[in-house]
Each structure stands twice: as C-alpha cells, then as structure tokens.
Structure 1
C-alpha cells in the first residue's frame, strides 16, 4: 500500500498513483473513499498487463481541497485533464464506484473517443433527482457545517473511527459481522489516520454530498443527448439476503443496466464496497469490459 505523486489539474493538486503497463484503466472511488480502497483490484489488473490510474478527487484522499462545487461535466473534464497530464492519450477503461459512477458515465458520454469501456461498480442511482433547496444554499450549508466540525476538532478526534465504522457497515454482513477473508486486509492504519484526521476530507465529502442530486440530474440530462458509444457493464453488490432493501437495490441496478444497454453482473456476496469484498470479480469485470471494445 503506497502513496503516489501530485499532478495539477485545473489548478488543483491531485494525488495519483500510476502502476503497470499496457492498456490504461482509471479507477475512481465513491464519496469520502480513497485511492487505497482499490489496492487489491489495481494489483490484479497490473498483473494482467494494464496501466492502472487511481486518483483522489479534490477534498478526498491526499488531494488538495476543492476550489468549486463538483459537477458531472467538471469531474469528467478532471479525468481527461489528468490523463493529459500523465501523457495517456489512448482510450481508457473507466470504472466508477458509487457517486463516482456519475463521473465515469459523464466522461464516457462527453469523451467517447477517449473511452474504451465503462464499468459502474454499485453505482449511485437517482431516477428522479429533485432538490428542495437551491444549490447555492446547500453548498453554503455544507461549508458552514465543515467549518463547525473542524472548529470542534471532530475530524482529528473521530475521523479514523468514522472511516472504520463506515467501511465495516458497507461490507458483506453489515456492522455485526466481520468482513470476509476474500476482501483481504483493511487499509493501513497510518494511511487511514493521515487521510481521515484531516478536516479537508470531511469538508470535501460534505461539499460533494451537497451537490449529489445536482450531479445526478446532470447525468440524466446527458443521457438524452450524449449516447454511449462504448461497452458498459453495471456491477451490483448484493449481500445474498432476502431483505426488501437489498432486493430493491438489486432491481434498480438491473433496471439501470437495461436503460444503458449494459451488461449486468452481480457480486454476491458483497456489500456496497464491492472492490473490498470481491476484488477478483471487479478486476475480471474491468478486464472483460475492455476486451469487448477491442
């Protein structure tokens, strides 16, 4: 488990880890997650002859704070700018987890010539992303809350604990059962402390979450005028239970695959953090998607 280097994109220093050689793959994690959550998937892809790019969005991981609220088009442009800075011109397979699925889909729609395949890993779904409060009000509230939490010292005091609790609850079996051995070791304690004791990460997550529905609405709008021209796979995490929530989520993921004309696969058993519970399956799906383009 290692850190990488910093690349400035649109004036913001982004933390990025690049490994391997061969056709490029970009991995983008969900809200408040970090580059090291892809460690096992990245290692498997590198072993199969891929150049793997993992990066932290502004306010996430080790990247600098965000200078503006995120948008789907802006995050797609960030991926393109990062690839330019790294000198990776060829088409890439882009995989987005959770909210980053919005960003990955926007990239595939806005930069089809630079996309080899799209993989959505237990992606966020919003069929009707309405908002009650104006975007500016929500953004302002997120910034005020971030400052208040920082002033209270909560990131330093509770950040790593909150990270561990969230990961445990988001893996197979939920909070009352240990994660499966198939998911491998947890993130290194020193990296978790380094990242999640920072108020920058809490503020970044609050800001991104405040614009969540706006980002979803933007992606829905892109679907009407920017058709996908690449192979798409929707990979859903399913814990194998018969709970109403789990089955409804699985059905929504399947419905999304139909709307996108995508291949649908299920990771079972797996929680929301599919890349931790089933890294081998995630790597296989990413490889298969890229080969379908070839």
Structure 2
C-alpha cells in the first residue's frame, strides 16, 4: 500500500512529497517529465532495508504546483535543502542524494553546496555535458518554452494524447521496450494536465544553462561525499552505446566516484534494474 501524499510549501511552491520507511534518509529525484511513482520499486527496496525514502516532484512535475520560474543547478539544490528542512525529523541527518537523468545535475549540486548535509551521492544514468554552450539567450528560450506550453495546453493535446506519449516515452527508454508499469489512474492524473508538459518544456529550455552552472560549481565547491555513477546499458552493440558508457565512466573519474554498469537497462534504470539501484545506494554510504 502506497503511503499517503503530502504537500509541503517550499519557497512558496507546494511540492508533492512521499515519505516512507525509517532510518537514514535517501532523497530520490527523477528525470525530465518523470514522477514520484517511477521510483516505486527502488523506494520499496530501500524502505525494507532501513532507510527513510523521500520522493518529491519538482515544480511542474507529478502532482507539484507549477514552477514560478526556470530551474537551475543551485536553485534545485536549495529546493532539496528546503524540502529537508520542511520535513523536520524525516529530513534530519546527512542524506544520500540520488538523481536520475537531468536530476543528476541537481543532486550533484546539492552534494557540493551542502556537504555537511550529504552522506553520499548516486547518479543514475545522469545527464552529462562536458562543455555546455547555450546558443540562444536564456530569456528567448524560456519565453519560447512558455509560449509552446500554453499553445499545447490550449489545443487540448495533454488531455488527448498525454498518457499515450508518456507510455511511448517509457517504452523507448526501457530495455526490451518493456511497458510502462505505472498505474493508469496516476498517469492520467499527471499527464493529462498541461501543467506537467509546461513544466517539462520549461526545465528543458534551461538544460544547457543548468549544465554550465554545475560546471562552474565543480570549480568552486569540491565534492566531499562518496559517490557512485550507475550507467544503464541495454546490451545492444553499437558506437552510440559505447560512447555513452565512456562518457559515464569519464564522469565517474571526474567525481572520484565508483563506476558501475546496470545491464540490461535502458535510460530508466530504476524500472529495469531496481535492485541494482537500491544496492548502489546502500553500498555507496
């Protein structure tokens, strides 16, 4: 049985939070356009192994309220810290910060900016940008994302095809093109709303800016926590897969982190290899 949802106001924005288990805290943050329930298998394993598991939806994702502004690495790190403060005893003590895909930027930023609050860092098939260079002005990209989000919502596309697009994206991101395991009612509740698609467009519009900000943080704030980089590989041969694993391994080397390959797994490693993700969290500390 899933724990009841909670909503906590952080920086003026109501965030949807799910907390379960007892013990040292672990914060799980999913990738672009994903939701708290995408961590269900991992959360259950960690809670059973004596961890307080904290899952939350970033603004504009899952059930959280829309974002007030575009995200950034430091801003998302502060959001995690504010969430832990709002949770009180559940968020007390150094946490293991776990970030998937673009949320890997946020988790690493948190570990660098709040070393005293970080027990470990785990990056799950994290986004990697070795030399991010945004081409267009940030304000132009953000404005375009907002306009597109409004147009998509006004046209009724989220209600018409939102859940189907979510299902197709999940299948494309899993080993063997496995189906989306999420409950249909939760998918409809989240992905039939324009709020989620607007949130994803807004976050994606600042992807390279967030990567560049993290690059600057690496030069100013050393990483003091133990870290693991867990890369997904579906087992298929090819130059693209080899390059991706090489970039993930280089990221681990840059961070002084342990490198591990989850196989077979697509980009959604937490759905394809939940036991391996949970073990990486437990072993990193």
Distance 2:161 2:173 in 1: 18
The alpha-carbon deviation at position 2 of structure 1 amounts to 5.5
The alpha-carbon deviation at position 108 of structure 1 amounts to 0.1
Distance 1:147 1:16 in 2: 26
* 1:26 is the counterpart of 2:21: no
Shift of the 145–28 alpha-carbon distance from structure 1 to 2, 3 Å rule, reads: same
Deviations along 1:65-105, one digit per CA (max 9) or x if unpaired, are 00011010000000000000001221000100000000000
Aligned residues, how many?
282
* 1:129 is the counterpart of 2:124: no
Match of 1:271 among 266, 271, 278: 266
Show the 5 A alignment for 1:87-98. Answer: 87=88, 88-98=91-101
Deviations along 1:163-216, one digit per CA (max 9) or x if unpaired, are 000000000034xxx35xxxxx70000000000001000000000000000000
- In structure 1, what is the equivalent of residue 87 of structure 2? 86
Distance 2:87 2:167 in 1: 32
Distance 1:22 1:217 in 2: 35
Match of 1:260 among 255, 258, 267: 255
* 1:284 is the counterpart of 2:285: no
Distance 1:162 1:128 in 2: 31
Give TM-score scaled by structure 1 length: 0.94
Distance 1:189 1:89 in 2: 34
- In structure 2, what is the equivalent of residue 139 of structure 1? 142
RMSD over aligned Cα atoms:
0.9
The alpha-carbon deviation at position 147 of structure 1 amounts to 0.4
* 1:231 is the counterpart of 2:231: no
Q: Secondary structure at 1:49's aligned position in 2?
A: coil
The alpha-carbon deviation at position 149 of structure 1 amounts to 0.3
Contact 2:3 2:19 (C-alpha < 8 Å) held by counterparts: no
Distance 1:288 1:21 in 2: 18
Shift of the 214–222 alpha-carbon distance from structure 1 to 2, 3 Å rule, reads: same
Give TM-score scaled by structure 2 length: 0.97
Show the 5 A alignment for 1:130-279. Answer: 130-174=133-177, 178=178, 186-279=181-274
Show the 5 A alignment for 1:58-77. Answer: 58-77=59-78
After the TM superposition, which parts of structure 1 deviate over 3 Å for at least 4 consecutive aligned residues? none
Shift of the 277–61 alpha-carbon distance from structure 1 to 2, 3 Å rule, reads: same
Distance 2:24 2:7 in 1: 22
Q: Secondary structure at 2:127's aligned position in 1?
A: coil
Q: Secondary structure at 1:120's aligned position in 2?
A: strand
- In structure 2, what is the equivalent of residue 101 of structure 1? 104
* 1:54 is the counterpart of 2:80: no
Distance 1:225 1:116 in 2: 20
Q: Secondary structure at 1:102's aligned position in 2?
A: helix
Q: Secondary structure at 2:175's aligned position in 1?
A: coil
